[in-house]
Chain A
């Protein structure tokens, strides 16, 4: 009947060194964690390894989980830290908000191709072309459906910064779309 146990209870069992509970959590959440990380690091092999490390972290630190947030939020928080740490190592440079904000968007030379795509696909390509920090907040809010407080927990930033970061990401989307020939009339 393990399959009917809530995530919080499973984490409590993981804290008591129950590997079956960890495996159940893994089967339940591996796709979400893998997808979230893969969107940040853009390398599926690396994402695969980092996903495993996230669940090793869960094994080690389950005792510190306080259930003040949803288990999903906790897992994504660990995943965020793992992914950003991997990016840091890859870039071999310090990572902070200023650094993140100064990173160029990843649109490269695809604008001509973008113009040929239909509107939905174009919007998707522009989302993919956002900088890492903008893409991450967009994914967290639109795909993982986190609240302001949950996104704040995952990213380790104030709630006000969550709102402004998403707002700026959306404005940046408008710029990318405009560059590709689509004026959506906002902002």
Chain B
């Protein structure tokens, strides 16, 4: 390998993580595409990088299932009272965040639709959205996400549709209780706190089996 070739290979290898996460512009991504077609040995690194990415998300997932902290301490530090927004507003934000996945065209479409309904009928949005997606949300009567029970953290595929996700989750009898948090993770309640280990493993395996929709699943404890 000439020095020039080695330098080019190093440059490409350094950009591969950004290629995998979709953070390159069109021209850069095309350049990497061309290089990988000509160098299958380098292309094999993509699987390593995807595994690194999944394990990194898993290592961070523990924080995605934490209950939201109160703003009270910050309010005291800046010398202003907390506005204490209505719980229904919290819930609306949560629904909106749920569908605010920029890299997911299908979910973004649903998000836009939900936003329009929020604008037009803010008072009844809870009822409308819950009616549409009651199979996958645990809304506790529309008062916001509820934690508790046995939970896992999942990340849905960027191109997964809301309908497909709803079908899978409702089919397994599990519900989203929070998300998305950093890294587009959602917390999913899969059963009561005292569910058996075998049942827990079975449900996790069933979620993992739907790799076309669910990129990864990791227990929260």
Residues of chain A touching chain B, judged by Cβ–Cβ distance below 8 Å, are: 1-4, 19-20, 22-24, 26-28, 30-32, 34-36, 38-39, 48, 51-53, 55-56, 59, 120, 123-124, 127-128, 138-139, 141-148, 163-164, 166-167, 170, 173, 184-186
Interface of chain B, helix or strand or loop or mixed? helix
A-B contacts, CB under 8 A, total: 138
Report if B83 contacts A (CB, 8 A). yes
Having A34-B66, A56-B77, A145-B21, one finds 19 other A-B pairs with CB under 8 Å, namely A1-B119, A2-B85, A3-B96, A20-B85, A23-B75, A24-B85, A27-B93, A30-B68, A31-B181, A32-B182, A39-B59, A52-B74, A123-B55, A138-B56, A141-B17, A141-B21, A142-B21, A143-B56, A147-B18
Chain B interface size band reads 35 or more
- Give per-residue flags for B43-68: 1 if the beta carbon is below 8 A from chain A beta carbons, else 0: 01100110111111111100110101
B181, closest chain A residue (CB):
A31
CB B118 to nearest CB in A, in angstroms, measures: 7
B57 touches A28 (CB 8 A): no
CB A5 to nearest CB in B, in angstroms, measures: 11
A32 touches B181 (CB 8 A): yes
Report if B168 contacts A (CB, 8 A). no
Cβ of A2: which chain B residues have Cβ within 8 Å of it?
85, 89
CA–CA, A145 and B184, complex, Å:
10
Q: Which of these, B60, B69, B71, B92, contacts A39 with CB under 8 Å?
A: B60
Interface of chain A, helix or strand or loop or mixed? helix
CA–CA, A184 and B44, complex, Å:
11
Report if B80 contacts A (CB, 8 A). yes
